[in-house]
Amino acid sequence: MPIAAAPAANASGLLETVLSKVRRPERSVVPQLCSPGGTSDKINVTIDLEKSGETMRTELLRFNGAVERDPAIDAWMKEHAGELGAIALEWFEVMRKCGDEVRELLHDGCPVACLGDAPFGYVNVFTSHVNVGFFHGAALPDPAHLLQGTGKFMRHVKLRPGTATNAAALSRLIDAAYSDIKARVENG
């Protein structure tokens, strides 16, 4: 049903009501309108949050126990010696060097780099490849199109031995992930 066909009493102030109730990072909201006869009609309302000036917050993922240098990660790296482990170590070292506030921990069996307790990147070794992952990767600029994944937030770069890596672009992604989490932490 087009919005013009909605009862005037229900349509009045609808946009203000919808904007006041938006709490999730979605751009479309489907409110229900009930007509006096007891039936309900759906209308689609699309809100361009950037133009409306509205902002939405998402809770930041936080990990307890992040430390400046976690011995469990050094042990993990020793357990994953070899070609794949060397790739993981190389890129985790890049994450470690992002800033003085970088902390780390082992989470879900892999090394994670955090800004304080807010994670921004991780590495993990698989049978034939290494993932360099980003907790807010979906929000990162990726002009080299390295990022893979379809999740709401996370993305990763898959690295394989013997396959060329765009090291400059991956370094920029790591820097961008660190800058992104820093802004998220500072801006609440």
Same domain, 47 and 16: yes
Q: Is residue 59 part of a domain?
A: no
**CATH at 159:** 3.90.1150.200
Q: Is residue 64 part of a domain?
A: no
pLDDT at 78: 97
Burial class of residue 4, CB neighbours in 10 A (0-12, 13-18, 19+): exposed
- Alpha-carbon distance 21 to 13, whole Å? 13
pLDDT at 98: 98
pLDDT at 4: 43
pLDDT at 59: 85
pLDDT at 57: 57
Q: Is residue 78 part of a domain?
A: yes
Q: Is residue 62 part of a domain?
A: no
pLDDT at 188: 76
Same domain, 21 and 89: no
Same domain, 87 and 179: yes
Its domain, for residue 177, covers: 71-186
| Spans in the chain with pLDDT lower than 70 | 1-58
